[in-house]
Structure 1
Amino acid sequence: MKIPLGTRSPLDWKNLSPDLVIKIFSRRHKTALTLGILIIFLNIILPFIFIKIIGIEKDVYVSWGLPYTGILLPIGVLYIIFRYRCPRCNAPPTSTKVGAQGVLLFPKKCGNCGVALLPHHPWSTD
Protein backbone atom coordinates (compact mmCIF):
# COMPACT_ATOMS: atom_id res chain seq x y z
CA MET A 1 0.00 0.00 0.00
CA LYS A 2 1.28 3.43 -0.90
CA ILE A 3 2.00 5.71 2.05
CA PRO A 4 -0.37 8.67 1.92
CA LEU A 5 1.23 12.07 2.36
CA GLY A 6 -0.08 15.59 2.22
CA THR A 7 -3.62 16.50 3.09
CA ARG A 8 -5.78 14.61 5.55
CA SER A 9 -8.89 14.42 3.40
CA PRO A 10 -8.39 11.21 1.36
CA LEU A 11 -8.20 8.88 4.34
CA ASP A 12 -10.01 8.20 7.55
CA TRP A 13 -6.96 9.08 9.66
CA LYS A 14 -8.52 7.94 12.94
CA ASN A 15 -8.71 4.33 11.72
CA LEU A 16 -5.20 3.90 10.28
CA SER A 17 -3.60 0.55 10.96
CA PRO A 18 -0.71 0.61 13.44
CA ASP A 19 1.75 -0.53 10.75
CA LEU A 20 0.74 2.31 8.43
CA VAL A 21 1.04 4.84 11.26
CA ILE A 22 4.59 3.59 11.93
CA LYS A 23 5.49 3.87 8.22
CA ILE A 24 4.09 7.40 7.89
CA PHE A 25 5.76 8.63 11.06
CA SER A 26 9.06 6.95 10.14
CA ARG A 27 9.10 8.91 6.88
CA ARG A 28 8.36 12.16 8.72
CA HIS A 29 11.08 11.33 11.26
CA LYS A 30 13.66 10.67 8.54
CA THR A 31 12.76 13.96 6.86
CA ALA A 32 13.17 15.85 10.15
CA LEU A 33 16.56 14.22 10.81
CA THR A 34 17.74 14.96 7.26
CA LEU A 35 16.67 18.58 7.61
CA GLY A 36 18.45 18.84 10.96
CA ILE A 37 21.67 17.38 9.57
CA LEU A 38 21.49 19.77 6.61
CA ILE A 39 21.07 22.75 8.93
CA ILE A 40 23.99 21.63 11.09
CA PHE A 41 26.19 21.07 8.05
CA LEU A 42 25.43 24.42 6.44
CA ASN A 43 25.78 26.41 9.65
CA ILE A 44 28.72 24.74 11.43
CA ILE A 45 30.83 22.70 9.03
CA LEU A 46 30.53 24.87 5.91
CA PRO A 47 31.83 28.03 7.63
CA PHE A 48 34.82 26.05 8.92
CA ILE A 49 35.56 24.85 5.39
CA PHE A 50 35.25 28.35 3.90
CA ILE A 51 37.22 30.19 6.58
CA LYS A 52 39.94 27.69 7.54
CA ILE A 53 40.52 25.60 4.43
CA ILE A 54 39.64 27.86 1.49
CA GLY A 55 40.81 30.99 3.26
CA ILE A 56 37.83 33.30 2.81
CA GLU A 57 37.90 36.26 5.18
CA LYS A 58 35.66 35.89 8.22
CA ASP A 59 33.93 39.21 7.51
CA VAL A 60 33.09 38.11 3.96
CA TYR A 61 31.53 34.88 5.22
CA VAL A 62 29.50 36.68 7.88
CA SER A 63 28.08 39.07 5.27
CA TRP A 64 26.84 36.42 2.85
CA GLY A 65 27.06 33.05 4.62
CA LEU A 66 25.44 33.83 7.94
CA PRO A 67 22.01 34.67 6.47
CA TYR A 68 21.60 30.95 5.71
CA THR A 69 21.03 30.49 9.42
CA GLY A 70 18.17 32.96 9.26
CA ILE A 71 16.64 31.04 6.37
CA LEU A 72 17.25 27.39 7.30
CA LEU A 73 16.56 27.48 11.02
CA PRO A 74 12.95 28.70 10.64
CA ILE A 75 12.37 26.06 7.96
CA GLY A 76 13.43 23.35 10.42
CA VAL A 77 11.32 24.81 13.22
CA LEU A 78 8.26 25.12 10.97
CA TYR A 79 8.67 21.50 9.88
CA ILE A 80 8.72 20.36 13.49
CA ILE A 81 5.68 22.49 14.32
CA PHE A 82 3.48 21.59 11.34
CA ARG A 83 4.60 18.18 9.99
CA TYR A 84 6.33 16.27 12.81
CA ARG A 85 3.06 15.00 14.29
CA CYS A 86 1.24 11.79 15.02
CA PRO A 87 -0.45 10.61 11.80
CA ARG A 88 -3.52 9.44 13.72
CA CYS A 89 -4.38 12.32 16.07
CA ASN A 90 -2.22 15.13 14.59
CA ALA A 91 -0.65 15.95 17.98
CA PRO A 92 3.09 16.55 18.38
CA PRO A 93 4.85 13.55 19.96
CA THR A 94 5.25 14.47 23.61
CA SER A 95 6.14 12.39 26.64
CA THR A 96 3.57 10.68 28.83
CA LYS A 97 5.80 10.99 31.91
CA VAL A 98 4.99 13.64 34.51
CA GLY A 99 7.27 16.66 34.32
CA ALA A 100 8.62 15.95 30.83
CA GLN A 101 8.17 18.80 28.39
CA GLY A 102 8.77 19.42 24.72
CA VAL A 103 8.62 17.38 21.55
CA LEU A 104 10.30 13.98 21.65
CA LEU A 105 12.77 13.34 18.85
CA PHE A 106 12.47 9.54 19.09
CA PRO A 107 8.98 8.82 20.48
CA LYS A 108 8.06 5.23 21.18
CA LYS A 109 4.35 6.10 21.18
CA CYS A 110 2.09 9.12 20.88
CA GLY A 111 1.49 10.88 24.18
CA ASN A 112 -2.04 11.83 23.11
CA CYS A 113 -3.62 8.75 21.50
CA GLY A 114 -1.08 6.06 22.51
CA VAL A 115 -0.44 4.66 19.01
CA ALA A 116 3.06 3.28 18.38
CA LEU A 117 5.25 5.70 16.38
CA LEU A 118 8.86 4.40 16.56
CA PRO A 119 8.49 1.27 18.73
CA HIS A 120 11.60 -0.55 17.46
CA HIS A 121 14.06 2.33 17.31
CA PRO A 122 16.94 1.81 19.78
CA TRP A 123 16.78 5.43 21.00
CA SER A 124 12.99 5.69 21.34
CA THR A 125 11.54 6.94 24.63
CA ASP A 126 8.07 7.16 26.16
Structure 2
Amino acid sequence: EFLPVATNVTGIQLCELLPRMAAQADRFAFIRSLVGSAGAHDAFQCQSGFNKKDLNSTGGRPALGSVVSKLEGTPEDRTPLFVDLMQGRGLVRNSARPGFLGPSFQPFRPDLSDLFERQLEKGMQNELKRLGTDHQVS
Protein backbone atom coordinates (compact mmCIF):
# COMPACT_ATOMS: atom_id res chain seq x y z
CA GLU A 1 0.00 0.00 0.00
CA PHE A 2 2.79 2.45 0.91
CA LEU A 3 6.14 2.50 -0.85
CA PRO A 4 9.56 2.52 0.81
CA VAL A 5 11.83 5.52 0.31
CA ALA A 6 15.58 5.73 0.76
CA THR A 7 16.99 7.54 3.78
CA ASN A 8 20.28 9.33 4.23
CA VAL A 9 21.63 6.08 5.73
CA THR A 10 22.67 3.31 3.35
CA GLY A 11 20.48 0.22 3.68
CA ILE A 12 17.64 1.82 5.64
CA GLN A 13 14.30 2.60 4.05
CA LEU A 14 11.22 4.17 5.59
CA CYS A 15 7.62 4.60 4.54
CA GLU A 16 6.97 7.24 1.91
CA LEU A 17 4.78 9.05 4.45
CA LEU A 18 7.88 9.92 6.52
CA PRO A 19 10.05 11.97 4.15
CA ARG A 20 11.38 14.38 6.79
CA MET A 21 12.33 11.49 9.06
CA ALA A 22 14.03 9.77 6.12
CA ALA A 23 16.11 12.90 5.55
CA GLN A 24 17.34 12.76 9.17
CA ALA A 25 17.73 9.00 9.60
CA ASP A 26 21.36 9.39 10.64
CA ARG A 27 20.10 11.05 13.85
CA PHE A 28 17.96 8.09 14.97
CA ALA A 29 18.70 4.73 16.54
CA PHE A 30 16.64 2.14 14.69
CA ILE A 31 15.98 -0.92 16.83
CA ARG A 32 15.46 -3.79 14.42
CA SER A 33 15.29 -6.55 17.02
CA LEU A 34 12.21 -5.26 18.86
CA VAL A 35 9.33 -7.71 18.78
CA GLY A 36 6.05 -8.09 20.60
CA SER A 37 5.90 -11.67 21.74
CA ALA A 38 2.53 -11.49 23.48
CA GLY A 39 0.43 -10.56 20.46
CA ALA A 40 -1.88 -8.46 22.64
CA HIS A 41 -2.52 -4.77 23.06
CA ASP A 42 -1.49 -4.39 26.66
CA ALA A 43 1.41 -2.34 27.94
CA PHE A 44 3.11 -5.01 30.02
CA GLN A 45 5.93 -5.92 27.63
CA CYS A 46 6.71 -2.27 26.88
CA GLN A 47 6.81 -1.44 30.59
CA SER A 48 8.90 -4.39 31.75
CA GLY A 49 10.74 -5.78 28.73
CA PHE A 50 9.30 -9.24 29.43
CA ASN A 51 6.43 -11.41 28.29
CA LYS A 52 3.50 -11.84 30.71
CA LYS A 53 4.44 -15.52 31.08
CA ASP A 54 7.58 -14.37 32.91
CA LEU A 55 5.41 -13.25 35.83
CA ASN A 56 4.70 -16.76 37.06
CA SER A 57 8.10 -17.87 38.31
CA THR A 58 9.63 -14.71 39.75
CA GLY A 59 6.82 -12.90 41.52
CA GLY A 60 6.56 -10.48 38.65
CA ARG A 61 8.97 -8.48 36.56
CA PRO A 62 9.10 -4.81 37.55
CA ALA A 63 8.28 -2.02 35.15
CA LEU A 64 11.15 0.20 34.06
CA GLY A 65 9.85 3.07 36.18
CA SER A 66 9.86 0.85 39.27
CA VAL A 67 13.48 -0.14 38.62
CA VAL A 68 14.53 3.50 38.19
CA SER A 69 12.65 4.36 41.42
CA LYS A 70 14.64 1.71 43.29
CA LEU A 71 18.00 2.67 41.81
CA GLU A 72 17.66 6.46 41.87
CA GLY A 73 15.15 7.17 44.64
CA THR A 74 15.78 7.87 48.31
CA PRO A 75 13.53 7.50 51.37
CA GLU A 76 13.51 11.30 51.67
CA ASP A 77 11.79 11.81 48.29
CA ARG A 78 8.50 13.63 48.79
CA THR A 79 7.33 13.51 45.20
CA PRO A 80 6.40 10.38 43.28
CA LEU A 81 9.39 8.90 41.48
CA PHE A 82 7.24 7.05 38.98
CA VAL A 83 3.85 8.20 37.66
CA ASP A 84 1.61 5.88 35.63
CA LEU A 85 -0.69 7.95 33.42
CA MET A 86 -2.06 4.99 31.50
CA GLN A 87 -4.76 3.85 33.93
CA GLY A 88 -8.32 4.95 33.26
CA ARG A 89 -8.05 4.53 29.50
CA GLY A 90 -10.29 1.90 28.00
CA LEU A 91 -7.70 -0.08 26.05
CA VAL A 92 -4.90 -0.01 28.59
CA ARG A 93 -4.45 -3.16 30.64
CA ASN A 94 -1.57 -4.63 32.57
CA SER A 95 0.17 -1.33 32.88
CA ALA A 96 3.19 -0.69 35.06
CA ARG A 97 3.65 -2.90 38.13
CA PRO A 98 6.49 -3.11 40.68
CA GLY A 99 6.79 -6.91 40.42
CA PHE A 100 9.29 -8.54 42.77
CA LEU A 101 10.53 -5.12 43.96
CA GLY A 102 7.41 -4.84 46.10
CA PRO A 103 4.70 -2.25 46.74
CA SER A 104 7.18 0.46 47.78
CA PHE A 105 7.99 0.87 44.08
CA GLN A 106 4.40 0.92 42.85
CA PRO A 107 3.80 3.89 40.53
CA PHE A 108 1.64 6.80 41.60
CA ARG A 109 -1.63 6.57 39.67
CA PRO A 110 -3.65 9.80 39.63
CA ASP A 111 -7.36 9.49 38.86
CA LEU A 112 -7.54 10.43 35.19
CA SER A 113 -10.99 9.00 34.47
CA ASP A 114 -12.56 12.44 33.95
CA LEU A 115 -9.83 13.39 31.52
CA PHE A 116 -10.92 10.71 29.06
CA GLU A 117 -14.65 11.43 29.46
CA ARG A 118 -14.51 14.88 27.93
CA GLN A 119 -17.38 16.28 25.88
CA LEU A 120 -16.83 17.83 22.50
CA GLU A 121 -17.93 21.40 21.89
CA LYS A 122 -21.37 21.78 20.30
CA GLY A 123 -19.92 22.74 16.91
CA MET A 124 -17.71 19.63 16.84
CA GLN A 125 -20.63 17.38 17.83
CA ASN A 126 -22.60 18.68 14.86
CA GLU A 127 -19.60 18.24 12.57
CA LEU A 128 -19.18 14.60 13.65
CA LYS A 129 -22.88 13.94 13.04
CA ARG A 130 -22.52 15.40 9.55
CA LEU A 131 -19.49 13.21 8.78
CA GLY A 132 -21.30 10.01 9.79
CA THR A 133 -20.61 6.95 11.89
CA ASP A 134 -17.03 6.45 10.68
CA HIS A 135 -16.04 9.55 12.65
CA GLN A 136 -17.99 9.03 15.87
CA VAL A 137 -16.19 9.25 19.18
CA SER A 138 -17.26 6.55 21.62
Work out which structure has the larger RCO, using CA pairs closer than 8 Å and 6 or more positions apart in sequence. 1
TM-score, with normalisation over the residues of structure 1?
Answer: 0.26
Greater strand proportion: 2
TM-score, with normalisation over the residues of structure 2?
Answer: 0.24
Greater helix proportion: 1
